[in-house]
Structure 1
């Protein structure tokens, strides 16, 4: 029913798929057919939103976006079809690796722009960005990396941080949206994946404050100053010493939840496990979305909020 239809920004809030990607799925791949208002604004019915969620399930299984329409038209379910063992993301990773080998910043940014326009962030991070980062970081972490690998890693980290930090500046959250304090609590500071994660949360219309490795002694100060509704401690490295005691002390002083995410969740004490949200980008986002539902006040037909995007219909 038209009365149940919602604008594109609301679809982004409900599904975590940014508006540029929704438009690309419609224009380039014919995956969506939203209604239009008299002024040309898109309106999505409940069945359109269900289709977006079905598309996401296929993409999460590693299916290329160009192959999803045929599967949907067949009425296939993502949980019922055996897929080819071929990894369609391998080509994307190879293109990125080739650009990295040449330290070609322009090519890297161009590829990121193309991928962020076609894939939801959890899929892009889990299948492409994080595996590449892990590979390069592992090579460098061994102490004697192949010639050039350290420069490639630094180039990749710099491009990723600048790209998504710039994208975050163009995001805005609706009035009344929950505010999350995101803290890098690892012994080895890493601002790249948390910055990407902060951008992903912004797509879902959450207000996110990320200041990097805020010391444990100042977590309470940061929460008080920003009025955070929750704290997320994120790291893929070994967490700072005294995490359990710091977590316990902060819980006593605050009336907000304190969660942990990233690969540290496999390393922390059992007492902290109930507070762990997961390791992968998609796991953490799903857990957070269930715990911090977005509250939207009033209709909004604007269509920005993705890297390199502007207002559109």
Structure 2
């Protein structure tokens, strides 16, 4: 690969892991490890499942390599790269992408139970932007519109669940790609008893992992005794309780009370539509933005 390509990857061109290793000086095994452990990049895959990196991936990896060469631990370097990406101006490709494909495409795919079409829509929504931008700029609003389509009678509930299952798989893959951040501060994340709406919490967990936090995700409808057992077993740096709906406020309040009484020094955060209340005393209210909420928790935990 020429020196010009090493300095300036060509827009629109995709690179193999071997080419990126040559361009950045990072061994291929390290590139794969950084993707798996820290989620610095999320390369696309060819039809043969080979990694394909774009110019933004190369830029991020080069930045991280420079930090590591100057003595920054890899986990902290990954956090700094992601923070720099979050603060930079959008690229021309990101401006062209906007808020992703029309939500109507997702609704039509749901009506036809077309798995290929759903995957294509999600691919388009996630292409060319960061996970954080795709999550808040397109995915969460699209799921809201999908629910409204069901309310209008345009979509059977099974079609909504069909798409939700595909989104769940994407979020689970993104969570796996961003971690596990072993040795980093531990955050316990989940929902109180009876709370079932997972997507906002899963998106938050991915964002928090991408901020370099060791996230232990408990999932939905977690009983009080299981929360208490997890806190006792893990001794986390903080606990985040998602309160997605107003009906989840009461069980969340009881959970906050019990955890705060047993662990008065443990930072407790709450977020979601049901968290905007004074009933959740002993906890800290997170910003409505999932991305900002993750940054808030990550800053506090990294500070110790």
**TM-score of the two chains, using structure 1 as the length reference:** 0.65
CA distance in 2, matches of 1:168, 1:52: 15
Is 1:259 aligned to 2:230, yes or no? no
Conserved in 2, the CA contact under 8 Å of 1:181 and 1:231? yes
CA distance in 1, matches of 2:197, 2:123: 23
Conserved in 2, the CA contact under 8 Å of 1:236 and 1:262? yes
Is 1:32 aligned to 2:59, yes or no? yes
CA distance in 1, matches of 2:60, 2:239: 38
What does residue 223 of structure 2 align with? 215
Measure how far apart 1:195 and its partner are. Answer: 2.5
Is 1:224 aligned to 2:224, yes or no? no
Question: Does 1 or 2 have the higher relative contact order (CA < 8 Å, sep 6+)?
Answer: 1
Give runs of ≥4 in structure 1 deviating > 4 Å.
Answer: 6-12, 28-31, 33-36, 48-55
Structure 2 segments unaligned to the other structure (5+ residues):
1-25, 45-50, 69-76
Measure how far apart 1:285 and its partner are. Answer: 1.2
Measure how far apart 1:123 and its partner are. Answer: 1.3
What does residue 199 of structure 1 align with? 206
Conserved in 1, the CA contact under 8 Å of 2:192 and 2:243? yes
Measure how far apart 1:19 and its partner are. Answer: 1.4
Aligned partner of residue 250 in structure 2, secondary structure: coil
Q: How does 1:242-253 map to 2 (within 5 A)?
A: 242-253=251-262
CA distance in 1, matches of 2:107, 2:84: 30
What does residue 41 of structure 2 align with? 19
Q: How does 1:103-118 map to 2 (within 5 A)?
A: 103-116=113-126, 118=128
Q: How does 1:176-195 map to 2 (within 5 A)?
A: 176-185=183-192, 187-195=194-202
Alignment CA distance shift 1:214-1:126 (3 Å): same
What is the RMSD of the two structures over their aligned residues, measured on CA atoms?
4.2
Aligned partner of residue 65 in structure 2, secondary structure: strand
Conserved in 2, the CA contact under 8 Å of 1:205 and 1:294? no
What does residue 153 of structure 1 align with? 160
Structure 1 segments unaligned to the other structure (5+ residues):
1-5, 37-41, 69-85, 296-313
